[in-house]
Amino acid sequence: MERTLITGGAGFLGSHLCEFFIAQGHEVISMDNLIKKENIENIAHLMGHERFKYIKYDVTEYLHVEGKLDNILHFASLASPKDYLDYPIQTLKVGSLGTHKTLGLAKEKKARFLLASTSEVYGDPMVHPQPESYPGNVDPVVPRGVYDEAKRFAEAITMAYHRTHGLQTRIARIFNTYGPRMRLDDGRALPNFMVQALKGEDITVYGNGTQTRSFCYVDDLIEGIKKLLYSNEAEPVNLGNPEEITILDFAKEIVHLTGSKSRINFCPLPQNDPKVRQPDINKAKTILGWEPKINRQEGLRRTLQYFKKKLEV
């Protein structure tokens, strides 16, 4: 039986990974410092499962786990712009110190290591769509730089452990992902728009809404993570859905889906908000035989069920 540690294991993606690997027959250890206390609800249904264990711990501290480990998936991090602007130092620490500690543990246990990296390593990209070979356009000293640079450091140290210690490492560059268990107040476009639409409030589109994103449904992403984990690819691999949409059209799509009467309210654009973002997933297609299967219409429909339940509407 494989034993798998998931850091950030109570978060949006972390909790889906816990569920997924339990279903695959693994013994799963979910580690999380619960910086967002309510995230414990994401794994409440797994508590008491014989192959699931939750450990409340901050991975930036010295890390010890009893027994063998076959896989370590390092998903601990604040990940929404609002969160990493609220917690800039914790964001830098978990990407740097936290990645160092989890790599050290992987070395000790001879475990496979997978880093949750991000499309943010491309910053405000000048190449579109973004292939893995594009080194990015990132400003380290703007507020958003805390996340971008933490993840860039995380990638660098992961490659260094691979090259120096021969560790089996993987780097997933995750593009915008959505689905059930996103925090309603995480400040991202989808939760904001859905909550606003369901409450009949104005929809806050930042800037003129012409900036683009490409949204991947969580189940597709998790499948990609699994395929990457069991591949032999140490270099970064983009995982995301290449279907690109402007933020204004995305807002309208959600208003339409919910049948809401909400109106669009244009608000100031945050500093250094990337103007475009779309993954080039040719590498994932070729190496992993992976591509997303769930289109936005279906993914949004499933996500809406979750948001309605949370808001009890």
Q: Tell me how far, at minimum, the Cβ of 5 lies from ligand UDP, in Å.
A: 26
Of the candidate residues 57, 87, 153, 206, the single one contacting ligand UDP (CB under 6 A): 206
The answer to whether residue 130 forms part of the interface with ligand UDP (CB under 6 A) is no
Give the integer Cα–Cα distance in Å for 296 and 313.
22
Give the integer Cα–Cα distance in Å for 84 and 299.
26
Question: With b meaning 16 or more CB within 10 Å and e meaning fewer, what string describes 5-38?
Answer: bbbbbbbbbbbbbbbbbbeeebbbbbbbbebbee
**Which x/- pattern over 271-300 shows residues binding ligand UDP (rule: CB under 6 A)?**
--x---------------------------
Of the candidate residues 77, 90, 130, 211, the single one contacting ligand UDP (CB under 6 A): 211
Q: Do 101 and 154 touch, CB atoms closer than 8 A?
A: no
**Which 29-68 residues touch ligand UDP, going by CB under 6 A?**
none
Give the integer Cα–Cα distance in Å for 100 and 15.
22
Q: Tell me how far, at minimum, the Cβ of 206 lies from ligand UDP, in Å.
A: 4
In the bound state, the residue with its beta carbon closest to ligand UDP is 188
**Which x/- pattern over 143-172 shows residues binding ligand UDP (rule: CB under 6 A)?**
------------------------------
Give the integer Cα–Cα distance in Å for 279 and 241.
7
Of the candidate residues 3, 173, 181, 188, the single one contacting ligand UDP (CB under 6 A): 188
Give the integer Cα–Cα distance in Å for 277 and 127.
9
Stretch in the footprint of ligand UDP (CB under 6 A) among 11-19, 45-53, 198-206, 279-287:
198-206
Q: Is 56 helix (H, G, I), strand (E, B) or coil?
A: strand
Of the candidate residues 189, 222, 254, 255, the single one contacting ligand UDP (CB under 6 A): 189
Please identify, using beta-carbon distances, which residue of 96 and 192 lies nearer to ligand UDP: 192
DSSP 192-259: HHHHHHHHTPPEEEETTS--EEE-EEHHHHHHHHHHHHTS---S-EEES---EEEHHHHHHHHHHHHT
The answer to whether residue 241 forms part of the interface with ligand UDP (CB under 6 A) is no
Q: How many CB atoms lie within 10 A of CB 4?
A: 27
Active site residue 54: no
The answer to whether residue 177 forms part of the interface with ligand UDP (CB under 6 A) is no
Catalytic residue among 54, 84, 122, 147: 147
- Gyration radius of the chain's alpha carbons: 19
Q: Tell me how far, at minimum, the Cβ of 113 lies from ligand UDP, in Å.
A: 24
The residue ranges that bind ligand UDP (CB under 6 A) are: 80-81, 176, 188-189, 192, 204-206, 211, 213, 247, 270, 273
The set of catalytic residues is 147
